[in-house]
Amino acid sequence: MNVTKADHIAIIGDVHGFWNEADNLEFSKLGVDLLLFVGDLGSGTRKNGVEMISRLSKLRVPGLVLPGNNDAPHLAHLGAEWGYQSGKADLLRLVGSPQRVGIRPCGFTAHELSTKSGNLTLIAARPCAMGGGECSFPEELSRNYGVSSIEESVKRLKTLVDQSSTEAIVFVAHNGPYGLGGKPRDLWSRDFPIGSDHDAPNDWGDHDLSEAIKYAKNQGKRVDGVIAGHMHRGSEGKTRPATLRFEGTTYVNSAVVPRIRTHPDGELHHFVELRLDPGSKKADERFMIDEKWFNTSWNEN
């Protein structure tokens, strides 16, 4: 397992096609060690999804991308573009061009992160999740990840927990976990009608993710944070809070949509800043979140 420096992380919520060269420039200047993308890269079309991979490949900061439900129908094409861009970056490095670190896909994977106060394990949960207790896109998941049910997903996530060599764990997912409430302002509550299905849950979180979190804690692991998106936080993020601290774990919904807004002084671009300090004796200092916007006019000064 490769170890990635990660004292300072930028979390990018659901992209939905809102990523441009200003993002590449700004994140290369901010001094972040790692970018985490929680999914839904494109606007729903194959062309836009592939275009987003091409744009993200120009990053000079390491990035991990967990595919969302919007990405599921185009996983094969996105994978091909990832492969193409990775090979292109390798070729450019050979001829001495400026290095492009780019991005890597993740999902049912574990990544050891290094900080000044110690290491922790980032576990990437089930890709393409839509919530509601079902295993979304089982055929695509089976073909790409060898998982086709919630039960198989739980088993895979538990294995990743067992294989982790650190006490501290952080989960990243597209959709958040079940069990944090079904009221309108809860982080992963359902905010859309489902026809005549009166039995549809209001808590739209993923059951396999909640089982993995519970399992990790029962195994003596410390789950410092859970990062996800999917359930949009709406206009200016006012419909849901960004974070919730529950039973020693900080939960983050980073899906402010759209993440790029028009402003008289330039475009505003949303991200969530995360600073990790797993060695701290204070729980609220191990996983520190700050919601941020940057203005494109800064890039012109």
- 3-300 maps to which CATH number? 3.60.21.10
What is the pLDDT averaged over residues 161-172? 98
What is the Rg, in whole angstroms, of the alpha carbon atoms belonging to the chain? 18
pLDDT tens, position by position, 233-251: 875 545 789 999 999 999 9
Q: Where are the domains of the chain?
A: 3-300
Q: What is the pTM of this model?
A: 0.92
- Of the pLDDT bands very low, low, confident and very high (cuts 50, 70, 90), residue 80 is low
pLDDT > 90? residue 172: yes
If pLDDT is split at 50, 70 and 90, which confidence band does 143 have?
very high
Element (H, E) at 88: helix 75-94
C-alpha to C-alpha distances, 108 to 13, 21, 212, nearest whole angstrom: 19, 30, 12
pLDDT tens by residue, 30-70? 989 999 999 999 887 778 778 888 888 888 899 999 999 99
Q: For a pLDDT cut of 70, what percent of the chain falls above it? A: 87
Task: Note whether 38 and 170 are within 8 A (CB).
Answer: no
